[in-house]
């Protein structure tokens, strides 16, 4: 049985969604953020030294990092939601799988942190927003070409992209000026597997 160490309002919600899409059995162990600092509790360090979520346990393995977990689940499910057969689509799949955390998420996180810093933080946010807008324009242009990030079918790349796009809708300036991205977001949030994952995971700010 796969065990998901799930932190509220975190990237681990993607793992629950992916498991629901794949139909793999799993168990959830819940952790709550500190209400003041919003950090993960110390209990998570007993699972892995980094003390972060998501963490997955399976067959004696402890796996961290969202992208690594997603790739592990694709392999465990026999390739479902994995890279498309077409070479160009497979390259897009790989790029978006890493782009989600490597490029688009950092400025969104930086904006969240700096927005809590009086005066100087607000000034810094003005310089960060254009970086976020560049990413949102790129995402919108990609979704004008196809319904999903890699191809005409949903893949793990879409699951990885869900968290930064939800964060962008919440605090990064994603609005009706980018209709394809909003349509994609509405589409994933309407999926039965996504809704089941929300029910399993509990409160999630972006769902």
Residues 105 and 184 in one domain: yes
Helix (H) or strand (E) holding 26: strand 26-31
- pLDDT attached to residue 199: 93
Residues 102 and 184 in one domain: yes
Residue 151 and residue 92 in contact, taking contact as beta carbons nearer than 8 Å: yes
Q: Strand, coil or helix: what is 35?
A: coil
Neighbouring residues of 177: CB distance < 8 A, sequence distance ≥ 6: none
CATH number reported for the structural domain that contains residue 160 in this entry: 1.20.1050.10
| Window from 12-21, 43-52, 55-64, 189-198 with minimum mean pLDDT | 43-52
Residues 92 and 67 in one domain: no
Quickly state the pLDDT bin for 41 (edges 50, 70, 90): confident
Please say whether the dihedral angle defined by the alpha carbons of residues 62, 65, 69 and 72, taken in this order, is positive or negative.
Answer: negative
Q: What is the mean pLDDT of residues 38-51?
A: 86
- pLDDT attached to residue 35: 78
Q: Report how many domains make up the chain.
A: 2
- pLDDT attached to residue 119: 64
Instruction: Tell me: pLDDT of 137 over 70.
Output: yes
Kindly report, residue by residue over 100-122, the tens digit of the pLDDT: 999 999 999 888 877 777 766 67
Instruction: Tell me: pLDDT of 207 over 70.
Output: no
Neighbouring residues of 101: CB distance < 8 A, sequence distance ≥ 6: 66, 67, 160, 164
Shortest CA distance to 105 belongs to which of 170, 19, 200, 20? 170
Instruction: Tell me: pLDDT of 130 over 70.
Output: yes
- pLDDT attached to residue 120: 64
In the chain, the percentage of residues whose pLDDT exceeds 70 is 97
Answer whether residue 207 is part of any domain: no
Rounded mean pLDDT of the chain?
Answer: 92
Answer whether residue 206 is part of any domain: no
Shortest CA distance to 59 belongs to which of 41, 73, 49? 73
CATH number reported for the structural domain that contains residue 76 in this entry: 3.40.30.10
Answer whether residue 127 is part of any domain: yes
Kindly report, residue by residue over 52-99, the tens digit of the pLDDT: 889 999 999 999 999 999 999 999 999 999 999 999 999 999 999 999
- pLDDT attached to residue 121: 65
Instruction: Tell me: pLDDT of 193 over 80.
Output: yes
In the chain, the percentage of residues whose pLDDT exceeds 90 is 75
């Amino acid at each position: 049985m796969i065990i998901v160490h799930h932190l509220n309002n975190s990237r681990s919600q993607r793992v629950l969604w992916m498991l629901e899409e794949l139909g793999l059995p799993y168990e959830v162990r819940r952790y709550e953020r500190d209400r003041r600092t919003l950090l993960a509790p110390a209990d998570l360090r007993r699972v892995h030294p980094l003390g972060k979520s998501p963490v997955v346990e399976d067959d004696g393995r402890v796996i961290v990092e969202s992208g690594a977990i997603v790739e592990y689940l694709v392999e465990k499910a026999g390739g479902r939601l994995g890279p498309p057969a077409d070479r160009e689509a497979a390259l897009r799949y790989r790029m978006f799988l890493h782009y989600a955390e490597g490029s688009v998420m950092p400025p969104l996180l930086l904006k969240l942190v700096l927005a809590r810093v009086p005066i100087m933080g607000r000034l810094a946010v003005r310089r960060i927003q254009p970086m976020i807008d560049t990413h949102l324009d790129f995402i919108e242009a990609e979704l004008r070409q196809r319904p999903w990030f890699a191809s005409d079918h949903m893949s793990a790349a879409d699951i990885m992209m869900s968290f930064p796009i939800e964060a962008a809708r919440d605090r990064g300036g994603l609005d009706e000026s980018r209709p394809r991205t909003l349509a994609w977001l509405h589409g994933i949030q309407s999926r039965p597997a996504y809704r089941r994952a929300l029910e399993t995971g509990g409160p999630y700010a972006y769902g």
